[in-house]
């Protein structure tokens, strides 16, 4: 099948390129804009208590005041507010309300801080559009207006709250995307120049993947709108890295094989047909493992991850199709001139370093397995110190952003939980009015919960069937202590609710509590489903029951080592209170899927060496010699491109960039090069039971082998040296 694809593309390269360009223009011109939502509550399904509480609030208290933006005032000299200052604040509050800014429903004065140095203006926006870009636009207008209105006074004002956080997150995301894009381009360009010493070849994947990126983003926007999925601005940054990192990997596999076929004496067009025919299955199997891992995210209960899975799967699918059609079409038009001005493509390198590593694995497989396994286990010990943090807003932007500064100042000036209080909604279960005489005792029980600053009954609905108790925590809403406290508040709210009533606990800490539960659900669901599906792929490709088990075990060790190292670096080394809550899920999928790809490439080459009559230890050594350069090049580029996410300047992408790049480096340079081949050598022929895929085959007339080509391909790797079964160089 892949050879037929290659033949069609090479015979009609111009039409193939034209078809891609037409598709790009049509999709980009008609695709809707990719929506973004920074409202954490939108990530949860309706079955969770915090969401039920929010729905109840909307019905019982439709006009309840919930600030979406907070203007925080203080004197420019840092002193206590004077009577004149308070008069200016009242004037500014009134004038802001009179402006009738889009999305703004109500503007009211807030209370001053206990030390008299701060005061607030509270702004309520349309709750139906919480977290949407239009509220970020409103926050921008508010921020400009409030700063304009403080001119000529002794006051300075800063805007915080959820709408301002959405605005700052949006701006931070644009800056992060630009830095990630520049870093990714630079790394790919420089690395390809070093590998091939050919400027055309270095620039080509950047141009072609740019076209692929435009198409993928358009299709993702269509899918997001069609299936009403939630989106977050961080997804765009991840997409850049996935498209260019994975796309360059596939480009490398194809070009290594194309170069090999030219060295073998094929005519240029026939060399490309053979390259696609032999490497196509490799690219398809590699992409298949990644796509399945990403699609497993649709089982997540979190809207953010549920949308990320299909988005990344679409991106990899488009990249796969481009790797089999667009890239071969363009390269077949250019021909061997693509390697200009280098002449090194015409001769076969000796791969002396990888040959030495291969000899080490062949001679001491037990020692190699033990040492590489020990490194992975040692790093994995960091898992026991793992803590999650749930503040997606502050994790998605630097602490220097204005809304983050306001959040920190509010915690200092007021109770840490004052900016995001918890609400307990007490409702009559039989539809009769509530007994108000029980409110005082109920509020006292809520206020007595460890970690609660105060609790009071704030309002009752018109029918008298629902009461709202405002509970202020001692801790900022996203901290571990706040989440633990809201758990205790729930216990008391439910157990001590008066007869004939039921209670629901809402607010940001309650949302984070439910997100924690949802993530734990995902660990129990997404992880095993992705692992089983990838094991099925491995079993089918390798025709073995044994190999998939230890391959997945090695990848599991790689995941543990990656998470452990991330904990050591960020929690122990940099003093972070925790890692972003979705990081282990994302890390698992990237490390497992891509780590499996490199394992497939290495063990497939090992199998081919065994089929030439070599014993398991010798086959492992030869596999590392010939497949090592391909795995090293692909692993380095992909790890380096993911590392560019650390340039974004926010905790989420910094942690994600380090974790995924470290995991890919471990997968390529520890698991695929040492742990997997040495363990396979130790297990011997039993690794291929019951299929006996390593049995000796009759020698083929064509060049055999596949260093970087894939699991069942018959061709050699990128820089392979052809040998006969006795190991002699031909």
What end-to-end distance do the CA atoms of the chain give, in Å?
30
| Residue 708, pLDDT score | 40
Distances 232 to 34, 229, 236, 303, 427 between C-alpha atoms, Å: 9, 10, 8, 10, 34
| Residue 22, pLDDT score | 93
Beta carbons of 166 and 160 less than 8 angstroms apart: no
| Residue 416, pLDDT score | 66
326 contacts: CB under 8 Å, gap ≥ 6? 16, 17, 20, 208, 211, 212
- Paired sense of beta strands 452-460 and 466-473, if any: antiparallel
Phi then psi dihedrals of residue 99, to 5 deg: -75, -20
| Residue 466, pLDDT score | 93
| Residue 310, pLDDT score | 84
Beta carbons of 576 and 394 less than 8 angstroms apart: no
Cα of 94 vs its chain's centroid, Å: 43
Q: At what angle do helices 651-666 and 616-643 cross, to 10 degrees?
A: 160
| Residue 424, pLDDT score | 94
| Residue 712, pLDDT score | 36
- Paired sense of beta strands 501-506 and 422-428, if any: antiparallel
Tell me how far apart the alpha carbons of residues 282 and 571 are, in angstroms, rounded to a whole number. Answer: 38
For 696, other C-beta atoms within 10 Å of its C-beta total 11
Tell me how far apart the alpha carbons of residues 195 and 90 are, in angstroms, rounded to a whole number. Answer: 66
Beta carbons of 691 and 320 less than 8 angstroms apart: no
Prediction pTM value: 0.74
Task: Tell me the CB-side half-sphere exposure of residue 150, using CA atoms within 13 A.
Answer: 22
Residue with tokens 């630079």: 186
Distances 338 to 205, 331, 526, 590, 693 between C-alpha atoms, Å: 12, 7, 43, 32, 37
DSSP element (H, E) containing 173: helix 162-196
**Reduced to 3 DSSP states, what percent helix, strand and coil does the chain have, rounded to the nearest 5?**
65, 10, 25
| 690 DSSP 8-state letter | B
Judged by DSSP in three states, 707 sits in: coil
| Residue 501, pLDDT score | 92
Beta carbons of 305 and 582 less than 8 angstroms apart: yes
Judged by DSSP in three states, 721 sits in: coil
User: In 10-142, which ranges are E strands?
Assistant: 67-75, 104-109, 119-125
What b-and-e string marks burial along 478-507, b requiring 16 or more CB atoms within 10 Å of the CB?
A: bbbbbbebbbebbebbeeebbeebebbbbb
| Residue 388, pLDDT score | 82
Judged by DSSP in three states, 105 sits in: strand
Q: Residue ranges of the alpha helices (H) in 197-267?
A: 199-226, 234-263
- Paired sense of beta strands 119-125 and 67-75, if any: antiparallel
Query: Nearest-CA neighbor of 390 among 671, 578, 640?
Result: 578
Positions of the chain with pLDDT under 70: 33-43, 63-65, 127-131, 172-173, 176, 228-237, 345-352, 391-398, 415-419, 648-650, 691-730
Longest alpha-carbon distance in the chain: 96
Judged by DSSP in three states, 7 sits in: helix
């Amino acid at each position: 099948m892949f050879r037929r694809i290659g033949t069609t593309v090479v015979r009609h390269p111009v039409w193939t390129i034209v078809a891609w360009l037409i598709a790009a223009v049509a999709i980009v011109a008609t695709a809707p804009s990719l929506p973004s939502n920074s409202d954490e509550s939108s990530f949860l399904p309706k079955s969770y208590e915090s969401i039920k509480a929010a729905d109840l609030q909307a019905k019982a208290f439709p006009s309840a005041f919930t600030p979406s933006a907070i203007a925080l005032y203080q004197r420019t000299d840092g002193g206590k507010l004077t009577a004149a200052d308070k008069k200016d604040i009242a004037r500014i509050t009134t004038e802001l309300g009179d402006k009738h800014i889009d999305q703004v429903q109500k503007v009211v004065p807030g209370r001053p801080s206990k030390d008299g140095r701060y005061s607030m203006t509270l702004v309520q926006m349309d709750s139906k559009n919480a977290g949407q870009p239009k509220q970020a636009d409103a926050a921008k207008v508010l921020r400009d207006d409030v700063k304009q209105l403080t001119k000529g006074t002794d006051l300075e004002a800063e805007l915080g709250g959820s709408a301002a956080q959405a605005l700052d997150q949006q701006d931070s995301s644009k800056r992060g995307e630009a830095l990630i894009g520049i870093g990714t381009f630079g790394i790919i360009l420089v690395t390809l120049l070093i590998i091939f010493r050919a400027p055309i070849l270095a620039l080509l994947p950047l141009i072609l993947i740019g076209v692929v990126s435009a198409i993928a983003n358009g299709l993702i926007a269509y899918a997001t709108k069609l299936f009403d999925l939630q989106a977050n601005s961080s997804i765009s940054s991840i997409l850049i890295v996935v498209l260019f990192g994975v796309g360059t990997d596939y480009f490398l596999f194809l070009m290594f094989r194309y170069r090999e076929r030219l060295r073998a004496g094929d005519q240029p067009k026939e060399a490309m047909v053979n390259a696609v025919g032999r490497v196509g299955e490799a690219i398809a199997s590699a992409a298949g493992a990644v796509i399945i891992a990403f699609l497993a995210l649709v089982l997540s209960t979190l809207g953010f991850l549920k949308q990320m899975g299909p988005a990344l799967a679409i991106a990899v699918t488009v990249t796969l199709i481009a790797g089999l059609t667009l890239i071969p079409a363009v390269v077949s038009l250019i021909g061997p001139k693509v390697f200009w001005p280098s002449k090194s493509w015409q001769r076969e390198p000796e791969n002396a370093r990888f040959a030495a590593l291969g000899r080490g694995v062949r001679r001491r497989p037990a020692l190699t397995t033990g040492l590489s396994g020990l490194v992975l286990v040692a790093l994995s010990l960091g898992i026991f110190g793992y803590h999650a943090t749930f503040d997606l807003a502050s994790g998605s932007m630097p602490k220097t952003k204005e809304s983050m500064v306001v959040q920190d100042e509010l915690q200092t000036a007021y109770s840490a939980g004052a900016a995001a209080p918890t609400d307990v909604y007490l409702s009559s279960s039989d539809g009769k009015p509530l007994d108000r005489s029980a409110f005082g005792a109920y509020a006292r029980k809520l206020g007595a919960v460890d970690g609660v600053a105060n609790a009071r009954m704030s309002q009752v609905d018109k029918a008298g069937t629902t009461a709202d108790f405002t509970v202020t925590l001692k801790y900022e809403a996203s901290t571990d202590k706040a989440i633990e406290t809201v758990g205790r508040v729930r216990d008391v709210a439910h157990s001590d609710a008066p007869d004939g009533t039921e209670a629901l606990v809402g607010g940001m800490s309650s949302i984070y509590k439910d997100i924690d539960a949802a993530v734990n659900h995902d660990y129990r669901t997404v992880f095993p489903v992705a692992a089983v599906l990838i094991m099925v792929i491995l079993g089918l490709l390798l025709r073995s029951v044994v190999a998939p088990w230890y391959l997945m075990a090695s990848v599991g060790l790689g995941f543990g080592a990656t998470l452990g190292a991330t904990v050591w670096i960020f929690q122990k080394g940099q003093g972070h209170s925790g890692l972003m809550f979705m990081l282990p899920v994302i890390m698992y999928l990237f490390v497992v899927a891509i780590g499996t790809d490199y394992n497939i490439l290495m063990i497939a080459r090992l199998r081919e060496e065994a089929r030439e009559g070599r014993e398991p230890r010798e086959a492992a050594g030869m596999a590392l010699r010939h497949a090592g350069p391909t795995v090293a090049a692909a692993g380095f580029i992909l790890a380096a491109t993911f590392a560019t996410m650390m340039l974004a300047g926010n905790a989420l992408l910094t942690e994600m960039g380090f974790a995924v790049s470290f995991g890919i480096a471990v997968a390529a340079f520890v698991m695929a090069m040492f742990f997997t081949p040495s363990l396979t050598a130790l297990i011997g022929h039993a690794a291929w039971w019951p299929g006996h895929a390593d049995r000796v085959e009759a020698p083929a007339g064509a060049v055999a082998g596949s260093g970087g080509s894939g699991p069942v391909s018959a061709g050699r790797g990128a820089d392979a040296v052809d040998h006969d079964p006795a190991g002699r160089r031909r």
